[in-house]
Structure formats: structure tokens, C-alpha cells
Amino acid sequence: MNIFKDSKILASSGVFLTFACAGFAASSGSPFYGDPPDKNHPWAVHDQNRPQPKIVTPGTFSTPEQAGKPPADARVLFDGTDLAKWESTKEGNPPAKWLVKDGYMEVTATGDIRTTEKFGDCQLHVEWAPPGEVKGDSQGRGNSGIFLMGLVEVQVLDSYNNLTYADGHAASVYGVNPPLANALRPPGTFQVYDIVFRRPIYKNNQLVDPGYVTVFVNGVLAQDHTPLEGPTGHMGRSRSRPFPEKGPLVLQDHGNPTRFRNIWYRELPPRAIEGGTDGMLTEEATTAKRQQTAAAIRLDAASLKNPSNPMPEMLRWMESLVYEKDEAVAQKVEKMAAAYLEGVIALPADKIGSKRDEVRHLSSVFKYLIRFKILPAEFAPAAATEELIKKQGWDKRRP
């Protein structure tokens, strides 16, 4: 929330805060105006101390003829050149034996394959194509599967003009939930799956978050935050049980020469329930984050000490109180504010006007802190500030 300093990254107690530069603060308004943190939210609304989103250079979209480029932070699992990041699921995990040709891999009746890399919550991108020559029907046509963590299957099937059971169509969470739409292109054409996966979370063997799967097929929503009920399976209902933190991505060999290309994923940050800092946190986690933020701001405030310009330091001390009440800091703020106002009042008549906007801003900060009971209603410097503003006529609009 510091509107007086250049951009700065400050680390304290393992917390990294990006403090906004003056230009950013000026364009986004006063830092003391959004609802403050509460018992379940460590950040104020529009909080300029809240970590900025990371910058990711986007990739390019695929066409049926040409695979697109992954975003800059993606971990590529298959780029069309080799199967170095894949292995067989057979005993001993020998090297994967699927065919690699012309930028794709193809099932070759040698068994399922999986990634050597393990991961959990992710944004996953997979492109696949059923055979161009239509053979068989229902589950016997272009059948394969994408198993998230090796446990939850998103069905791969040539569902183009092909009836089968609803929870076995392409983009179904197999045996659990049918797709919202059948958005497949004709056989022999590459289809695009974009999947958002959140694994189930257990604590003390008790389910606290069931996990979810969202799937887009060729840009059409097919699974809308579908809750999980445990691992999926054939003919058997899912049974709830704990998942590991990470697992491999498995591609199924179902006997059909299905092709895959352009497979990549992006790791997702932890949810609030597992230690993330966004969303509604537990009171304990919120308190800890607020304390860390307050400590970082106070460390920054101490670095701003400048008797000839005390306002930046004073505002930072005030700001720290938004995250954590501290009587010593409140007393420090009271003394600094009193000294600042005395200095302004002592200025010659032709100089005091230069402090108009600064004093008015200080008044708005006091009002914010008192409104949310961060400072007491009878806070003396607040009353003195209002008195000064009225005496100087700074409460009136300029002509």
C-alpha cells in the first residue's frame, strides 16, 4: 500500500510482498479505502500488498491440422519428438513402446503408458485423434482414456455419431458423470481437451474437499466443476478414499490406434484448505498471514525514517495496524502524527498551504482506521487534523 516508494520486493518471515510504485497507487486510488482484512481473509479489498499474479506469456491455439504452442510456464510432457518422459505401466516400467511419427504418438497394442513425472492439481492440455477409418461402435470405436494421477479417467472415445452409455462418452468422467455436450469433430481429426483438475483433500482420513474436474472439448464446456467421488473404474461405482499428493498421467491402450499430441500441464497453486493464501482461510491461517504481512510492513516502515519527511514512514506504521493491532505501534503513530501536525501548524502562512493535500490525505486515513475500529474514535491526532483542516478552510471546495 505504500504510495511513496518505488517498486520494492521485501522478504520477511518467508513472506514476499510487492509494494506498488507511486504511479500504480495513484491510478488505483487511496490504499486506505477497501474493507480491511477479517478473521477469514488476510487481505483488504483492493489490497496493494496482496501478491501480484505472475506474468505468463500465453501460447497459441491449435487447429485440427497444427498443434499450438504451450504457455511459457507449461511443463511439456509430449512435444511430438519422443517418449523420453513416458514409460510403460507394466511391471518394472520398461520404456514406452507406442509409435511416434509426424508429431504424434499412437497406441500400438503394447499396453498403457504413463509419465515418469508425477503431479497433482493442474491445468492439463491433451490433443487426441480417433482413427479416420471407422470400425466398431459404442465403446469399441476410438477408445482410450486419460487418467489424472492414474486414478480419475476422462474418457477418450470416438463419440461422433456413435451412441454409447452416457457416462462413457468422450469427455465423461468415466462411470461418474456424462459430458454436458458432445462437441467432437469427425473421425481422424484431432480433438482438444483442456482439463482443470483438483484432487480430493483428506485430513485425518476425513474428506474436507472432494476435488473437481472441469473439461472443455474443442472449446465447449463438457464437465462443469464436476465433484469427484474417488477413483473411477469400469462397472463399479467410485468409492471415496484418500489420494496421494501427486501421481502420473496415464494414457490407456484400449486396442484402438488412437493418436495423441501436444500434451502439457501447468501446476495450480494450493487451495485455501491446504495452505493457500487466496479465498476464505481458516482463522488460524488468516491470523498467521496477517501477522507476517504486518511484520513485513513494519520492517519497511523502519527503513523509511526521514525527519524532514515523516509522512511515508508514519503511513506505513498505520498500515501495519490494519493487519495486526499493536499498542506500541499505535502509540508510535500517535506521537508521530502529533509531531507532524505541530510541524505543519508552525509553518509560515505562505508555506502552510503546500501541506493541504497531504493533511487531507492523513485525515482520510484516520477516518478509515477509526471507521473499522483499528484506531479508537477518540484518537487525538484525528481530531487535531480535522481542526486544522477547518481552520485553514481546506474542507471547502476550491473555486
Q: Is pLDDT of 230 > 50?
A: yes
User: pLDDT confidence of 182, banded at 50, 70, 90?
Assistant: very high
- The CATH architecture to which 75-274 belongs is Sandwich (2.60)
Nearest CA among 163, 108, 115 for reference residue 140? 163
* Residue boundaries of the structural domains of the chain: 8-51+277-392, 75-274
pLDDT score of 23: 39
- Cα distances from 50 to residues 17, 285, 340, in angstroms, run 7, 15, 29
Report pLDDT digits (tens) over 73-82: 999 999 999 9
- Please compute Rg for the chain using Cα positions: 29
Grid look-up 477518540 returns 378
pLDDT score of 293: 95
- Write out the three cell numbers for 375: 484506531
User: pLDDT confidence of 278, banded at 50, 70, 90?
Assistant: confident
Average pLDDT over residues 358-373: 96
Rounded distance between C-alpha atoms, residue 45 and residue 37, angstroms? 8
User: pLDDT confidence of 399, banded at 50, 70, 90?
Assistant: low
Residue 291 DSSP SS3: helix
Q: Go through the chain and tell me how many residues it has.
A: 399
pTM (two decimals): 0.86
The lowest-confidence range among 226-240, 252-266, 280-294, 354-368 is 226-240
- Cα distances from 74 to residues 59, 158, 260, in angstroms, run 9, 28, 17
